[in-house]
Amino acid sequence: MTVELSIEEHVARVTINRPAQMNAVDLETADRLEAIWQQIEADASVRVVVLSGAGDRSFCAGADMKSGTRKTGLDYCADARPEGFGGISLRKTLLVPVIARVNGFALGGGFEMVLGCDIVIASEHAKFGLPEPRVGRLPLDGGMVLLPRLIPEKVALGILLSGEKISASTAERYGLVNEVAAESELDAVVDKWIERILRCAPLSLKAIKESVKHTIDMPASEARSVRLPGLVAALTSEDSREGVRAFVEKRDPVWKGS
């Protein structure tokens, strides 16, 4: 399998498994990723996703330019999927939290996938970049539209217009990475974030992510008045009542996701 999926104890782990190709994404891998995201969306037991790349050299080096495709840049633009690179960079329908576990290079579409995740944990030797202009292409799958919305415009343009890679510590300083860890501690740090997320009510988390994704470009006063279905479902759920009961009774809540 070019992408591996395991689901255990409410955690879905998605691993791009092409280490010899720096986990670059070819058409088969893109199709497999899309199928996995749809499977996760349909699985109510999943409360958090961890996205990673096999091996220690690369999270994902972007599109596999050696996979035999003869598409021009314009062809690629015309055929681009609305969900973005790897089916995740621009996806709005996946409402459970997604953690990017970045060990090594996250370049081109790989960086765009990181931008589409909710929490980013990177090893100290991780590198991020959008080298598309160096090969006459453009970061069409989220890079040009997401990066300037996440960090200051001048900083974003510096990355976009130079094609240079930035370090994990620099990405953390810009706010693109939540935490940097030594490679030996990377999984422990990811597990710590998983534990934090699983302590929270799953419907509340989905409602928060849905609200942020749909209102982030609105004025705060307008966004505050939006009542999406997920928000209503979370606030009227049994879990909402359970959370209050558990707090009053000084015990851990037992979430049912309903």
- Average pLDDT over the chain reads 95
Q: What would you measure as the largest C-alpha separation in the chain, in angstroms?
A: 63
Cβ pair 66, 27 in contact under 8 A:
no
Choose the catalytic residue: 132, 153, 164, 238. Answer: 132
Looking up tokens 């370049």, which residue turns up? 107
pLDDT bin (cut points 50, 70, 90) of residue 80 is confident
Residue 39 has pLDDT above 60, yes or no: yes
pLDDT digits (tens, 9 = 90+) for 161-210: 999 999 999 999 999 999 999 999 999 999 999 999 999 999 999 999 99
pLDDT score for 65? 86
Residue 73 has pLDDT above 70, yes or no: no
pLDDT score for 54? 98
Task: State whether the Cα torsion 229-235-238-243 is positive or negative.
Answer: positive
Choose the catalytic residue: 112, 124, 195, 210. Answer: 112
How far apart, in whole angstroms, are the C-alpha atoms of residue 217 and residue 198? 28
Which listed CATH number (3.10.110.10, 3.30.420.40, 3.90.226.10, 1.10.10.10) goes with 3-198?
Answer: 3.90.226.10
How far apart, in whole angstroms, are the C-alpha atoms of residue 91 and residue 94? 7
DSSP string, 213-247: HHHTTS-HHHHHT---HHHHHHHTSHHHHHHHHHH
Over pLDDT 70: what percentage of the chain?
95
Q: Is 112 a catalytic residue?
A: yes
Q: Which helix (H) or strand (E) holds 121?
A: strand 119-123
Residue 68 has pLDDT above 80, yes or no: no
Residue 69 has pLDDT above 60, yes or no: no
**pTM as predicted:** 0.95
How far apart, in whole angstroms, are the C-alpha atoms of residue 107 and residue 87? 16
| Span of 32-41, 58-67, 122-131, 140-149 with lowest mean pLDDT | 58-67
CA 244 to chain centroid = 31
